[in-house]
Amino acid sequence: MRENKLLSLLNQMTLDEKIAQLMQLATPFFKGAKEQGQITGPMAEMGVTDDTIQNSGSVLGASGAQEIINIQRTHMEENRLGIPLLFMSDIVHGFKTIFPVPLAIGCSWDLELTEKSAEIAAREASVSGVHVTFAPMVDLVRDPRWGRVMESTGEDPYLNSEFARAFVRGFQGEELTTDVERVAACVKHFAAYGAAEGGRDYNTVDMSERELRENYLPAYQAALEEGCEMVMTAFNTVFGIPATGNKRLMRQLLREEMEFDGVLISDWGAVKEMIPHGVAENEKEAAYKAISAGVDIEMMTTGYVNHLKELVEEKMVDESIIDEAVLRILQLKEKLGLFENPYRGANVELEPEVIMSAAHRKAARELATKSSVLLKNESILPLKKEKKVALIGPFAESGDILGPWSWLGSRDEAVTMKEGILSKTSRLTVAKGCDIESITDAQTEEALKAASDADVILLALGEDSDMSGEAGCRANIQLPSAQLQLINYLQSLNKPMVAVLFNGRPLDLHGVLDQTDAVLEAWYPGTEGGNAVADLLYGDVNPSGRLTMSFPYHVGQVPVYYNHFNTGRPQGAPDAQERYVSQYLDIPNEPLLPFGFGLSYTTFTYSDLKLSSATMTEEQTLDISITVTNDGPVAGEEVVQLYIHDHSGEVIRPVKELKDFQKISLDAGETADITFTLSENQLRYHHSDLQYKSDPGTFTVFIGRNSQDTMEQTFRLEK
């Protein structure tokens, strides 16, 4: 019924109107700013006409109910057919109430809270007028030099898939049309953006199709299975062709095979970037390649509006392809109920009540405590409240703890570490000690003075938020040397030192881990960061985060990830020679801290690993049980992790693969019997002919507290 109306609307549109619908422009174009001379630089050079603006389909980066209502109202008056605009923004880890960055959220292994964080982000965004968020980013990451690892949940395809589902559920809810407190999700960046060569942003990605399917596609697929409405293209190449103009990737894989029939949007400027990539001579050819690949919306470049008409007239592009793209956009508008109510959830009165509400801040604090990972603790934490504390470091009083993609978050409203600690104790002295990347004698002196009378030194260290995120790549992944120097100076005082780290990537922690008594990886914890850190340091909350990306021993190991392959000459094999094995002469093969690692204020022991049978068939399942006991002094949460290894495949198989996990909560002294059920489909993988199936043979199953510390048993899959 409605589909007919959409089709008749489409029939009334001129070709120019259709093409303009495919254009996405940033907010300034819609605010009358052009007349006011506010559109400058590259935006001014785009030469977009008023006609295009009046007929364009969507707006990038608007927020604020009043602003969005105003833009939409003017647009509805000016647009000949009354087609509402879609408002899209990057609401990645919170709108104004900022949650920890996604890499931190991954470390919570808490899917329920993750979903809740996305639901809250959606509620705040939608009351402010936003319809679509450019999230979740589900790119699998293995290279901490890449600044955008903080946007991903880590290096594991299974875990990333679970998080992708949780984010999509949280953003979209169950009924997008009627639930105006939700927003449509856009999974990105299709595909394999996380594999940029050398960890340098936008760089080439070149991998086998088998590898793509095995490790990189599952999380996008999971988001789509959860009903994710949109997909964004990646900046990188896939199979030698930029994703945005890659017909095989988009038409064959995404649309046909993965059955995606929603809106596909290019990343910012990615259509035109086909020129420097070297697959298009000019904007016209780039536009031709993108539309042929099935990209519906062109973000922030003008290939479509400048050239599609010509391409249709020259019979290079069939108008039906443009119709398809327009129809998909109209369908999304329809799904969001915009033809009935173009303002959807935008509500000026409700906005102040909903945004940054106490309940939202509470959820942000809870998730921040669950996302932090305790990396070391030599019996110094939790701190006793009567201890005199010196808080020293560039993050001691910094609100720069929201992380990249928190453009609407306010650093002034973020709880700093000092404020958090002050809520637990007043016995506190504070000094900056150094800046992020420089240190002066005066700063050192002040720090030594502040610490002289303290029982314990709390170091607040890290990377400022510009050091990660988009285009935030680093070849040296240690803490900046000024901060390592600060640690050295303070060591002369011979006092216990606890380092709290605020950063966006796994770091090489030499100079920190070996020089301090305890280390808490807080990542960018968001608006409630200082409170969450204080809750953990003082033991009001027991740390439970577990790393979802390996921390390298040295940048020279990168990429280093737990689910790697063996070689023909693995280290540690019974017949291994001394020299001719796969190893470095100067550093270990293993990362400094493995995937799944994290400490607690209590200890959990694992015993009694049992399999229900020594064999299983395709029809049967296998029960794997283990006993976990909290034999420490306090209640705590443990992430019980299940891995498998396929001993012999048609193609090589990883040394371990995460297949399941359970996050459990145990009181001091409590014991739990945990059971996992494994079925044949969890043993499948992509063969050399790309078929996805299992092979009979021997498997090891591992259960443990992280990817290295496990108990194991073997079983056979029989056909």
The residue among 268 and 339 lying less far from ligand BGC, judged by its C-beta, is 268
Cα–Cα distance, 635 to 359 (Å, whole number): 25
Applying CB under 6 A, what is the total number of residues that bind ligand BGC? Answer: 6
Tokens matching residue 383:
């701190």
| CB nearer ligand BGC, residue 286 or residue 392 | 286
- Residue 31-50 contact track with ligand BGC, rule CB under 6 A, x = bound: --------------------
Map residue 365 onto helix, strand or coil.
Answer: helix
How many other CB atoms are found less than 10 A from the CB of residue 38? 13
SS3 assignment, position 302: coil
**What is the nearest approach in angstroms of ligand BGC to the Cβ of residue 285?**
22
- Strands, E assignment, 281-343: 298-299
**What is the spatial distance between Cα 685 and Cα 698, in angstroms, rounded to a whole number?**
15
- Distances in Å between the Cα of 67 and the Cα atoms of 85, 98, 492 are 13, 21, 56
Of 406 and 483, nearer to ligand BGC (C-beta) is 406
Minimum distance between the CB of residue 470 and ligand BGC, rounded to whole angstroms?
6
Query: Phi and psi of 462, rounded to 5°?
Result: 155, -160
Tell which one of 268, 335, 357, 618 touches ligand BGC (CB under 6 A): 268
The least CB distance from residue 150 to ligand BGC, in Å, is: 12
Q: Taking a C-beta distance cutoff of 8 angstroms, is the pair 50, 30 a contact?
A: no
Q: List Cβ neighbours of 639 (8 Å cut-off, separation of 6 or more).
A: 109, 544, 546, 596, 598, 661, 662, 663, 705
Minimum CB separation of residue 297 from ligand BGC in Å reads 11
Judged by CB under 6 A, which of 109, 134, 538, 597 binds ligand BGC?
134
Residue with Cβ nearer ligand BGC (190 or 562):
190
CB of 36 to ligand BGC, least distance (A): 23
Q: Is 201 a catalytic residue?
A: no
Task: Output the CA torsion 406→412→416→419 (10° steps).
Answer: -150
The residue (of 231 and 683) whose beta carbon lies closer to ligand BGC is: 231
Give the nearer residue to ligand BGC in terms of CB position, either 134 or 260.
134
**For the chain, how many helices (H) and strands (E)?**
21, 26
Residues 177-196 interacting with ligand BGC (rule: CB under 6 A): 188
Residue 95 is a binding residue for ligand BGC (CB under 6 A): no
Catalytic residue among 143, 156, 267, 646: 267
- Structural tokens at position 88: 């899209």
Copy the structure tokens of residue 579.
Answer: 């020299």
Contact status: 272 vs ligand BGC (CB under 6 A):
no
**What is the rounded CA–CA span in Å between residue 17 and residue 215?**
41
Extract the tokens encoding 45: 């050079």
Q: Does position 90 bind ligand BGC by CB under 6 A?
A: yes
Give the Å distances, CA to CA, from 587 to 237, 556, 582, 714.
33, 9, 12, 31
Amino acid sitting at position 190: F
CB nearer to ligand BGC: give 185 or 451: 185
Interface residue with ligand BGC among 455, 470, 618, 712 (CB under 6 A) is 470
Tell me the residue number closest to ligand BGC, measured at CB.
134
First and final C-alpha spacing in the chain = 49
Rounded CA separation 479/484 (Å)? 7
| Residue with smaller CB distance to ligand BGC, 26 or 391 | 26
Return the number of the residue (90 or 124) whose C-beta is nearest ligand BGC. 90
Q: Is 93 one of the binding residues for ligand BGC (CB under 6 A)?
A: no
267 in contact with ligand BGC (CB under 6 A): yes
Nearest-approach distance from CB 673 to ligand BGC, in angstroms: 44
Q: Phi/psi at 165 (nearest 5 deg)?
A: -60, -45
- The reply to whether 167 sits near ligand BGC by the rule CB under 6 A is no
Residue 160 DSSP class: H
432 is a site residue for ligand BGC (CB under 6 A): no
Q: From the CB of 650, what's the least distance to ligand BGC, in Å?
A: 36
For residue 226, give the DSSP letter. Answer: T
6-13, Cβ contacts within 8 angstroms, sequence gap of 24 or more:
6/327, 6/330, 6/331, 6/334, 7/327, 9/81, 9/83, 9/330, 10/323, 10/326, 10/327, 10/330, 12/81, 13/81, 13/326
**Distance in Å, CB of 294 to ligand BGC, minimum:** 19
Check residue 229 for interaction with ligand BGC (CB under 6 A): no
Nearest approach, Cβ of residue 306 and ligand BGC (Å): 21
Residue numbers of the site for ligand BGC (CB under 6 A)? 90, 134, 188, 267-268, 470
| Residues carrying an active site annotation | 267
